């Protein structure tokens, strides 16, 4: 099971690439000018994307171990 659930609010996302560049595992990508999940299994739940998104468009929910 993935370590976290990635939720992206496309209405808030402006496709700035910050989250894609920050993600240490390559779990995110930009599709049609919006952030998207590329591979949820790669997400470690580090929260970097959620914390640094200027538009609060990503919410990470860590799964229980
Ligand atoms: S950092 Fe936020 S606004 Fe920028 S691409 Fe990622 S989700 Fe979208
Ligand atoms: S929580 Fe960390 S590993 Fe998961 S998508 Fe965001 S930056 Fe990448």
Q: In three state form, how does the secondary structure of the chain look?
A: CCCEEEEECCCCCCCCCHHHHHCCCCCEEEECCEEEECCHHHCCCCCHHHHHCCCCCEEEEECCC
- For residues 12, 63, 37, 46, the Cα torsion angle rounded to the nearest 10 degrees is 80
Please give the model's pTM, rounded to 2 decimal places: 0.95
How far does residue 65's CA lie from ligand 2's centre (Å)?
17
Asked if residue 29 lies in contact with residue 20, where contact means CB atoms within 8 angstroms, the answer is yes
Q: Which CATH class is domain 4-62?
A: alpha beta
pLDDT in tens, 2-20: 899 999 999 999 999 999 9
Question: Which ligand approaches the C-alpha of residue 50 most closely?
Answer: 2
Digitized pLDDT (tens) for each residue of the chain, 65 residues in all: 889 999 999 999 999 999 999 999 999 999 999 999 999 999 999 999 999 999 999 999 999 87
Q: In the prediction, which pLDDT does 1 show? A: 83
How far does residue 47's CA lie from ligand 1's centre (Å)?
13
């Amino acid at each position: 099971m993935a370590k976290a659930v990635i939720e992206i609010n496309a209405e808030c996302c402006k496709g700035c690439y910050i989250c894609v560049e920050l993600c240490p595992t390559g779990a995110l990508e930009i599709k049609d000018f919006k952030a998207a999940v590329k591979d949820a299994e790669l997400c470690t739940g580090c929260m970097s994307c959620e914390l640094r998104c200027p538009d609060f468009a990503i919410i990470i929910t860590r799964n229980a171990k």
